[in-house]
Structure 1
Amino acid sequence: MSHHGQPEVYVMKVGILGTGSIGGTLARKLSAAGHTVKVANSRGPDTIDPEVLSTGASGVTKEEVVTGIDVLILSIPFIRIPYLAPMLAGLPAETVVIDTSNYIPFRDDRIEAIEKGKPDSIWVSEKLGRPIAKAWNSIYSVTLKEMGRPVGHPDRVAAPVAADRDRDREVTMALVEESGFDAYYAGTIEESWRQQCGAPCYCTEITLAELPGALARADLARSRRRQDLAFAVYEEKYGTSGINPDGDFIVQLSRLINL
């Protein structure tokens, strides 16, 4: 794992697939940072919440969102990612594709290969047939929306980034920094299980000083058990509503179970 360093900032053309709690927040943040952002969901541009477009992002169709871009951010339910493969087949090889999703059996059904130990993002990369980066998946959606802080702020939360290619790593780290979080290169996509659900860095709002140790302590089998336990607690409290409770509940639960 490398040490954190300030990545070079690029002005980029960014496409975001998904306009929910992660994709919508990133659309606002990255537009406000000066990037050219277009967003799409599965239902069409006229269904996109105006707040998502409030800082300059454009609502487009899902076919339009993958054209003429430097970066594509995937913020859709994990189980639906394989259906994107035909749409992404025409993307240039150098386009940076960032996966923000998590395998959540509680929501997605169990996937045998992942249950047997395949990292979430290896599965995604294989289904899409291309390299990807992994970022923002370890931050709770309410934290992403409300807890971004300027560089150097003592309460700035850190976010791990996994990637295999240099350009994927550099671009993704730059965007994470601009979204208000300290980016840390956590290793290759093969190592990205260290930032999956149930890991010590997952939704625990730790700082840059704490993140390397949390990644090193990750244990895949333990993370799986912790993930199941956390979602059992969530389901007992909230049922199968799929609502996002306030940040305190998720962060406190995650710290109790994952750290």
Structure 2
Amino acid sequence: MKIGILGAGHIAQAVARHAIRYGHQVVLSNSRGPDSLTDLVAELGPLASAGTVAEAASAELVLLAVGWPQVPAAVAGLPDWGGRIVIDATNQFATPPPDWTIDDLGEITGSEHIASLLPGARIVKAFNTLHASRIAPDPRHPAGRQLLFLAGDDAEAKATVHALTEEFGFAPVDLGDLRTGGRLMQLGGPLSGLHALKQD
């Protein structure tokens, strides 16, 4: 699979390393342009490349892993997504640390807001409840596999993300649609920041 990644921070890199480990091609992008990712791409190896945001967004599956305030600029001007899958790993922090204030979206969830910014995309919420330090290492532990919660409105898209993350070694758990599952997963929800293992 060719996976595009919008963002090149800790979570983006952690997911990229898992994807490459299992033979997937990865196209990384950020707001500073491909040249700023030369060292990272060299470190990740031949299955990694740097591209523009548009190039990364054209992949068959895309990970959105940029800061919440940067999302509108990151996706501005991109064409209709044409049914491609977008894994939304964002959290709705309105301000960075040390304040960590949460953006109040009223009745809609963060991923429903993301969906409104990405016409034609099939959104699957995933990876946002885990700290990058829990995503980066092998999710298989002697006591069990790292739980990975996901939610989405499209069953086929969720099945694709479920299979991919299970390949990485996670224990994915489908929480339902973006309204129900997304609310459990987003900041302030009971699963936000929960790190747990599934015994096999």
TM-score, length basis structure 2: 0.85
Letter in 2 for 1:79: P
Q: Matches of 1:70 and 1:156 in 2, distance apart?
A: 27
Deviation at 1:203, TM superposition (A): 2.2
Confirm or deny: 8 A CA contact 1:135 1:176 kept in the other structure: no
| Count of residues paired in the alignment | 192
Letter in 2 for 1:180: G
Q: 1:13-46: CA deviations, max 9, x gaps?
A: 1111111001111111101111121111111122
- Structure 1 unaligned blocks of 5 or more: 1-11, 210-259
Q: Where does residue 113 of structure 2 map in the other structure?
A: 123
Deviation at 1:180, TM superposition (A): 2.8
Confirm or deny: 8 A CA contact 2:81 2:119 kept in the other structure: no
Q: 2:29 aligns with which of 40, 47, 51?
A: 40
Confirm or deny: 8 A CA contact 2:147 2:170 kept in the other structure: yes
Q: Matches of 2:162 and 2:24 in 1, distance apart?
A: 15
Q: 1:140 to 1:111 in 2, by over 3 A?
A: closer
Confirm or deny: 8 A CA contact 1:16 1:75 kept in the other structure: yes
SS at match of 2:148: strand
Q: Matches of 2:39 and 2:197 in 1, distance apart?
A: 32
Q: 1:41-75: CA deviations, max 9, x gaps?
A: 111122126345524211112222123x2101100
Q: RMSD between aligned alpha carbons?
A: 2.2
Letter in 2 for 1:168: A
Deviation at 1:165, TM superposition (A): 0.9
SS at match of 1:22: helix
Structure with higher Rg: it is: 1
Confirm or deny: 8 A CA contact 2:20 2:26 kept in the other structure: yes
TM-score, length basis structure 1: 0.67
User: Relative to total residues, which structure has the larger strand share, 1 or 2?
Assistant: 2
Q: Where does residue 159 of structure 1 map in the other structure?
A: 148
Q: Where does residue 20 of structure 2 map in the other structure?
A: 31
- Identical columns (%): 27
Q: Where does residue 217 of structure 1 map in the other structure?
A: none
Q: Where does residue 204 of structure 1 map in the other structure?
A: 194
User: Relative to total residues, which structure has the larger helix share, 1 or 2?
Assistant: 1
Confirm or deny: 8 A CA contact 1:14 1:38 kept in the other structure: yes
Deviation at 1:208, TM superposition (A): 3.5
- Structure 2 unaligned blocks of 5 or more: none
Q: Which segment drifts farther, 168-177 or 42-51?
A: 42-51
Deviation at 1:92, TM superposition (A): 2.0
Q: Where does residue 49 of structure 2 map in the other structure?
A: 58
Deviation at 1:147, TM superposition (A): 4.9
